[in-house]
Amino acid sequence: MREIVFDTETTGLDPASGDRMVEIGCIELVNRIATGNHFHAYFNPQRTMPFEAERVHGLGDAFLADKPLFSVRVLELLEFIGDSPLVAHNAQFDFGFLNHELGLCSHPAVGLDRMIDTLVLARRRHPGAKHSLDALCSRYGIDRSHRVMHGALLDAELLAQVYVELTGGRQIGFSLGADIGSHNGSADLEPQISLVAAGTRVVRVPRPHQASEAEIARHKSFVETLNSPLWSN
Protein backbone atom coordinates (compact mmCIF):
# COMPACT_ATOMS: atom_id res chain seq x y z
CA MET A 1 0.00 0.00 0.00
CA ARG A 2 1.34 3.41 -0.99
CA GLU A 3 0.82 6.38 1.36
CA ILE A 4 2.12 9.94 1.34
CA VAL A 5 3.12 11.67 4.58
CA PHE A 6 3.17 15.43 4.14
CA ASP A 7 3.55 18.72 5.98
CA THR A 8 3.12 22.36 5.03
CA GLU A 9 4.43 25.72 6.15
CA THR A 10 2.28 28.81 5.70
CA THR A 11 2.04 32.54 6.27
CA GLY A 12 -0.54 32.04 9.00
CA LEU A 13 -3.40 29.95 10.26
CA ASP A 14 -6.36 30.69 7.98
CA PRO A 15 -6.36 30.50 4.18
CA ALA A 16 -9.79 32.12 4.12
CA SER A 17 -8.22 35.33 5.50
CA GLY A 18 -5.53 35.42 2.80
CA ASP A 19 -2.85 33.19 4.29
CA ARG A 20 -0.90 31.11 1.77
CA MET A 21 1.21 27.98 1.67
CA VAL A 22 4.94 28.65 1.33
CA GLU A 23 6.40 25.14 1.61
CA ILE A 24 5.30 21.53 1.23
CA GLY A 25 7.23 18.34 1.92
CA CYS A 26 5.97 14.87 0.98
CA ILE A 27 7.45 11.47 1.87
CA GLU A 28 6.46 8.27 0.08
CA LEU A 29 5.76 5.15 2.14
CA VAL A 30 5.08 1.73 0.65
CA ASN A 31 3.82 -0.81 3.18
CA ARG A 32 4.81 1.70 5.90
CA ILE A 33 8.43 1.76 4.73
CA ALA A 34 10.00 4.99 3.42
CA THR A 35 11.12 4.45 -0.18
CA GLY A 36 13.40 7.49 -0.38
CA ASN A 37 11.11 9.19 -2.91
CA HIS A 38 9.91 12.63 -1.89
CA PHE A 39 8.52 15.90 -3.20
CA HIS A 40 9.64 19.22 -1.74
CA ALA A 41 8.96 22.78 -2.88
CA TYR A 42 8.93 26.38 -1.68
CA PHE A 43 6.38 28.85 -3.06
CA ASN A 44 6.16 32.60 -3.40
CA PRO A 45 3.02 33.52 -1.43
CA GLN A 46 2.58 36.88 -3.20
CA ARG A 47 2.23 38.60 0.17
CA THR A 48 4.48 39.65 3.02
CA MET A 49 5.42 37.14 5.68
CA PRO A 50 4.12 38.01 9.16
CA PHE A 51 6.81 38.10 11.84
CA GLU A 52 5.02 35.50 13.96
CA ALA A 53 5.01 32.97 11.09
CA GLU A 54 8.62 33.65 10.10
CA ARG A 55 9.68 33.06 13.70
CA VAL A 56 8.22 29.52 13.44
CA HIS A 57 9.71 28.38 10.12
CA GLY A 58 12.36 30.98 9.26
CA LEU A 59 11.04 31.59 5.73
CA GLY A 60 11.19 35.31 5.06
CA ASP A 61 10.26 37.56 2.15
CA ALA A 62 13.81 37.70 0.76
CA PHE A 63 14.15 33.92 0.65
CA LEU A 64 10.74 33.37 -0.97
CA ALA A 65 10.97 36.23 -3.48
CA ASP A 66 12.46 34.12 -6.29
CA LYS A 67 10.49 30.95 -5.57
CA PRO A 68 7.82 29.77 -8.05
CA LEU A 69 4.11 30.22 -7.54
CA PHE A 70 2.17 27.18 -6.38
CA SER A 71 0.50 27.00 -9.79
CA VAL A 72 3.86 26.47 -11.48
CA ARG A 73 4.56 23.22 -9.62
CA VAL A 74 1.04 21.98 -8.94
CA LEU A 75 1.10 19.32 -11.65
CA GLU A 76 4.35 17.86 -10.27
CA LEU A 77 2.79 17.74 -6.81
CA LEU A 78 -0.42 16.10 -8.02
CA GLU A 79 1.53 13.52 -10.01
CA PHE A 80 3.60 12.66 -6.93
CA ILE A 81 0.70 12.23 -4.52
CA GLY A 82 -1.45 10.43 -7.09
CA ASP A 83 -4.51 8.87 -5.50
CA SER A 84 -2.68 7.69 -2.37
CA PRO A 85 -3.93 8.27 1.18
CA LEU A 86 -2.38 11.43 2.67
CA VAL A 87 -1.01 11.41 6.21
CA ALA A 88 -0.57 14.64 8.18
CA HIS A 89 -0.49 15.81 11.80
CA ASN A 90 -3.55 17.91 12.57
CA ALA A 91 -4.48 17.08 9.00
CA GLN A 92 -7.45 19.46 8.75
CA PHE A 93 -4.97 22.34 8.77
CA ASP A 94 -2.74 20.96 6.01
CA PHE A 95 -5.66 19.76 3.89
CA GLY A 96 -7.25 23.18 4.25
CA PHE A 97 -4.22 24.97 2.83
CA LEU A 98 -3.57 22.35 0.15
CA ASN A 99 -7.14 22.49 -1.11
CA HIS A 100 -7.18 26.29 -0.94
CA GLU A 101 -4.11 26.47 -3.17
CA LEU A 102 -5.58 23.89 -5.55
CA GLY A 103 -8.76 25.94 -5.77
CA LEU A 104 -6.83 29.13 -6.59
CA CYS A 105 -5.40 27.43 -9.69
CA SER A 106 -8.67 25.72 -10.68
CA HIS A 107 -7.80 22.16 -9.64
CA PRO A 108 -10.25 19.88 -7.79
CA ALA A 109 -9.83 19.58 -4.04
CA VAL A 110 -8.29 16.49 -2.51
CA GLY A 111 -11.06 14.41 -0.93
CA LEU A 112 -11.11 14.24 2.86
CA ASP A 113 -11.72 10.50 2.57
CA ARG A 114 -7.99 10.26 1.78
CA MET A 115 -7.04 11.91 5.07
CA ILE A 116 -5.14 10.07 7.81
CA ASP A 117 -4.68 12.33 10.82
CA THR A 118 -1.85 11.26 13.13
CA LEU A 119 -3.16 13.64 15.79
CA VAL A 120 -6.37 11.58 15.94
CA LEU A 121 -4.35 8.36 16.12
CA ALA A 122 -2.10 9.76 18.86
CA ARG A 123 -5.02 10.95 20.99
CA ARG A 124 -6.63 7.55 20.72
CA ARG A 125 -3.47 5.60 21.52
CA HIS A 126 -2.13 7.93 24.24
CA PRO A 127 -5.10 9.68 25.89
CA GLY A 128 -4.12 12.47 28.24
CA ALA A 129 -0.54 12.68 26.94
CA LYS A 130 1.07 15.42 24.87
CA HIS A 131 0.49 14.91 21.14
CA SER A 132 2.76 17.45 19.44
CA LEU A 133 5.24 16.14 16.89
CA ASP A 134 8.09 16.87 19.31
CA ALA A 135 6.34 15.00 22.13
CA LEU A 136 5.65 11.98 19.94
CA CYS A 137 9.24 11.87 18.71
CA SER A 138 10.39 11.85 22.34
CA ARG A 139 7.91 9.11 23.24
CA TYR A 140 9.11 6.84 20.44
CA GLY A 141 12.81 7.65 20.68
CA ILE A 142 12.97 9.38 17.29
CA ASP A 143 15.95 11.71 16.93
CA ARG A 144 14.77 15.30 16.37
CA SER A 145 17.95 17.04 17.47
CA HIS A 146 18.32 18.59 14.00
CA ARG A 147 14.85 20.19 14.21
CA VAL A 148 15.79 23.73 15.19
CA MET A 149 12.84 25.31 13.35
CA HIS A 150 9.79 23.93 11.59
CA GLY A 151 10.42 22.73 8.04
CA ALA A 152 7.94 20.89 5.85
CA LEU A 153 10.25 18.17 4.52
CA LEU A 154 12.02 17.56 7.83
CA ASP A 155 8.73 17.45 9.72
CA ALA A 156 7.27 15.05 7.13
CA GLU A 157 10.29 12.76 7.59
CA LEU A 158 9.84 12.78 11.37
CA LEU A 159 6.09 12.31 11.06
CA ALA A 160 6.59 9.30 8.78
CA GLN A 161 8.54 7.60 11.59
CA VAL A 162 5.92 8.60 14.15
CA TYR A 163 3.13 7.28 11.91
CA VAL A 164 4.81 3.88 11.61
CA GLU A 165 5.07 3.71 15.42
CA LEU A 166 1.47 4.81 15.92
CA THR A 167 0.24 2.10 13.54
CA GLY A 168 2.17 -0.78 15.03
CA GLY A 169 5.83 0.05 14.56
CA ARG A 170 8.05 -2.97 14.06
CA GLN A 171 5.19 -5.25 15.14
CA ILE A 172 2.83 -4.25 12.34
CA GLY A 173 3.06 -7.57 10.51
CA PHE A 174 2.19 -9.74 13.48
CA SER A 175 -1.56 -8.95 13.36
CA LEU A 176 -1.64 -8.50 17.13
CA GLY A 177 -4.80 -6.65 16.68
CA ALA A 178 -5.04 -3.10 18.07
CA ASP A 179 -7.52 -0.72 16.49
CA ILE A 180 -5.17 1.71 14.80
CA GLY A 181 -7.64 3.82 12.89
CA SER A 182 -8.61 4.29 9.26
CA HIS A 183 -8.20 7.37 7.14
CA ASN A 184 -10.46 9.24 9.54
CA GLY A 185 -9.41 7.29 12.64
CA SER A 186 -12.55 5.19 12.92
CA ALA A 187 -11.78 1.71 11.55
CA ASP A 188 -9.04 -0.89 11.53
CA LEU A 189 -6.09 -0.57 9.20
CA GLU A 190 -5.02 -3.90 7.75
CA PRO A 191 -1.40 -4.76 8.60
CA GLN A 192 0.82 -4.43 5.57
CA ILE A 193 4.19 -5.91 6.54
CA SER A 194 4.83 -9.60 7.04
CA LEU A 195 7.88 -10.21 9.20
CA VAL A 196 7.77 -14.03 8.95
CA ALA A 197 7.78 -15.64 5.53
CA ALA A 198 5.13 -18.28 4.99
CA GLY A 199 6.35 -21.82 5.50
CA THR A 200 9.53 -20.88 7.41
CA ARG A 201 8.28 -21.39 10.96
CA VAL A 202 9.49 -24.59 12.63
CA VAL A 203 6.82 -26.31 14.72
CA ARG A 204 8.30 -28.30 17.61
CA VAL A 205 6.72 -31.27 19.33
CA PRO A 206 5.15 -30.13 22.64
CA ARG A 207 7.30 -30.90 25.67
CA PRO A 208 5.79 -33.29 28.28
CA HIS A 209 5.38 -31.28 31.49
CA GLN A 210 4.20 -34.08 33.78
CA ALA A 211 7.01 -35.58 35.91
CA SER A 212 7.86 -39.21 35.25
CA GLU A 213 7.85 -41.84 38.03
CA ALA A 214 11.66 -41.86 38.03
CA GLU A 215 11.75 -38.05 38.47
CA ILE A 216 9.25 -38.24 41.33
CA ALA A 217 11.36 -40.90 43.07
CA ARG A 218 14.54 -38.83 42.69
CA HIS A 219 12.79 -35.77 44.07
CA LYS A 220 11.52 -37.72 47.08
CA SER A 221 15.01 -39.02 47.81
CA PHE A 222 16.43 -35.50 47.60
CA VAL A 223 13.82 -34.06 49.97
CA GLU A 224 14.62 -36.74 52.55
CA THR A 225 18.21 -35.48 52.69
CA LEU A 226 17.15 -31.97 53.76
CA ASN A 227 17.78 -31.02 57.39
CA SER A 228 14.61 -29.67 59.08
CA PRO A 229 12.93 -28.11 56.00
CA LEU A 230 10.59 -25.19 56.75
CA TRP A 231 7.48 -26.97 55.50
CA SER A 232 7.86 -29.75 58.06
CA ASN A 233 7.51 -27.31 61.01
Catalytic residue positions?
A: 150
* 52 in a known ligand binding site: yes
Q: What is the DSSP string of 6-69?
A: EEEEESSS-GGGT--EEEEEEEEEETTEEEEEEEEEE---SSPPPHHHHHHH---HHHHTTSPP
- Paired with 86 in beta bridges are 4, 115
Q: Is 7 annotated as a binding residue?
A: yes
With vertex at residue 30, the alpha carbon angle to CA 149 and CA 155, rounded to the nearest 5 degrees, is 5
Q: How far is CA 183 from CA 96, 126, 189, in A?
A: 16, 18, 8
Residue 226 half-sphere exposure, CB side, CA atoms within 13 Å?
Answer: 11
190 is in an annotated binding site: no
d(CA 87, CA 180): 14
For 126: left if phi > 0, alpha if psi spans -120 to 50, otherwise beta; the answer is beta
CA-nearest of 189, 174, 38 to 117 is 189
Burial 139-166 (b: 16+ CB within 10 A, else e): beebebeeeeebbbbbbbbbbbbbbbbb
- Is 23 part of any known ligand binding site? no
113 is known to lie in a ligand binding site: no
- Which parts are annotated binding residues for substrate? 7, 9, 52, 57, 155
- Which parts are annotated binding residues for a divalent metal cation? 7, 9, 155
- Which parts are annotated binding residues? 7, 9, 52, 57, 155
